[in-house]
Amino acid sequence: MRRPHRAMRQTQLTPDTVPFLDLGAATREVWPAIEAEFTEALLAGRYIGGPAVEAFEQQWADYCGTSHAVGLANGTDALLLSLEALGIGEGDEVVVPSNTFIATAEAVVRAGAVPRFADVSPDTLLLTAETFAAALTPRTRAVIVVHLYGQVPDMDALCAAADRAGVLVIEDAAQAHGAEWRGRRAGSFGVTGCFSFYPGKNLGAFGDAGAVVTSDAALAARIRCLANHGRAGGSAHYEHELLGTNSRLDALQAIVLSAKLARNESWTEDRIALAKEYRSNLEGSAAQLLTLAPQARHVYHLLVVRVPFREQIRATLAARGVHTGVHYPVACHQQPPLRRFADRPLPVCEQAAGEIVSLPIYPHMTSAQVERVCWELDTALAGEVLADASAS
């Protein structure tokens, strides 16, 4: 009998393949609610803005515990327009953790300001008051606190440190929908909270989408104006107050987001329960989970562990049908377009980039799948430890 081609065997979906993410299951759950509203909006010709967008904006502000939400085209624009609306640009510096998705720093550079990269806590891989303080200069106007992986860092300490320095806090909450620090929601601490609804995020649209939340009415109005070509609002469609851009939220995406938001708490609780199972399954394992602060409601956008022999482990897992990710393999200050802003080594970010691996986690994942991932991971780790011992 001819053996199947090796590459084909590896990509074949067997019943026990564990995908990194399964968006289809969530879509199937909300599709009946969405379908009728899609038809209505499409036949009424309401594609951009309109009642569906306004309804979602109100729901999203309520969910975050802020008074305003402005729907945007994506999360990167949420960061960029926050900076622009606050007048942060040329000559200004903005502190950002280097362990983040590149969009955080990209927005700072696009705004014309200089990103000052900060290191992170070795326990949570998040910004701390101390690492923030180490990146401060007299030109610092703002800090973008990133709730990476779904965990909000110590906002008591960070907001106090920013306050003392006279620095504005902007939250990059693109991975932290519904996350909390001492019962307060991500997005409600800073002057603005920036969200992405990219399909793979905890609350995801059927394409790109984003939002800014804030309790400052004037700031919300300014961001709304910037996102709509600087239009003043009202009837003067071709009169422009500011030089803005086009970053509006589509009605169809707002419909999807409202339908999914109705389920988001239950999906988030599913993620938290799965993370607990990971934690107990990996007790005593060579794979180390990041620290969970007792004050935090971690919403587990990503389930990150640190492992030795990362590349070999990922390859072994992939061959066994367990798909993983790395968020992120290169720290921001070491990415080619951002290297010119790197002013010192950031040892925690640099070391973590070589050790972290993101394991599958999504609301429709089963406990059996978590067990399987942990078993495969431990087996792969044991194999690498043995190979390493016999090689030396």
Residues in contact with ligand PLP by CB under 6 A are: 74-76, 100-101, 103-104, 146, 172, 174-175, 196, 198, 208, 210
Question: Which has the closest alpha carbon to 327: 305, 294, 298, 308?
Answer: 305
Q: Report, in Å, the least distance between residue 70 CB and ligand PLP.
A: 14
d(CA 198, CA 347): 30
Q: Report, in Å, the least distance between residue 285 CB and ligand PLP.
A: 27
- Tokens representing residue 139 in the block: 């030109």
Q: Report, in Å, the least distance between residue 209 CB and ligand PLP.
A: 7
d(CA 242, CA 389): 65
Nearer to ligand PLP, 86 or 302 (CB): 302
Q: Please, what is the angle between helix 23-44 and helix 251-281, to 10°?
A: 170
Nearer to ligand PLP, 115 or 210 (CB): 210
User: Reduced to 3 states, what is the DSSP secondary structure of residue 122?
Assistant: coil
Q: Report, in Å, the least distance between residue 176 CB and ligand PLP.
A: 9
Q: Report, in Å, the least distance between residue 101 CB and ligand PLP.
A: 4
- In the DSSP assignment, the letter for residue 336 is G
Nearer to ligand PLP, 76 or 369 (CB): 76
Nearer to ligand PLP, 198 or 309 (CB): 198
Q: Which amino acid, residue 162?
A: A
Nearer to ligand PLP, 147 or 320 (CB): 147
d(CA 147, CA 153): 7
Which residue is at the shortest CB distance from ligand PLP? Answer: 75
Q: Report, in Å, the least distance between residue 200 CB and ligand PLP.
A: 8
- Tokens representing residue 274 in the block: 């799965």
Nearer to ligand PLP, 147 or 372 (CB): 147
**Residue 5 to residues 11, 67, 104, 317, 322: CA-CA distances in angstroms?**
10, 58, 42, 19, 19
Nearer to ligand PLP, 146 or 161 (CB): 146
Question: Which has the closest alpha carbon to 173: 157, 150, 191, 155?
Answer: 150
Tokens 């609350």 map to which residue?
203
Q: Report, in Å, the least distance between residue 254 CB and ligand PLP.
A: 15
Which residues 6+ apart lie within 8 Å of 56 measured at CB? 69, 71, 249, 254, 255, 257, 258, 261
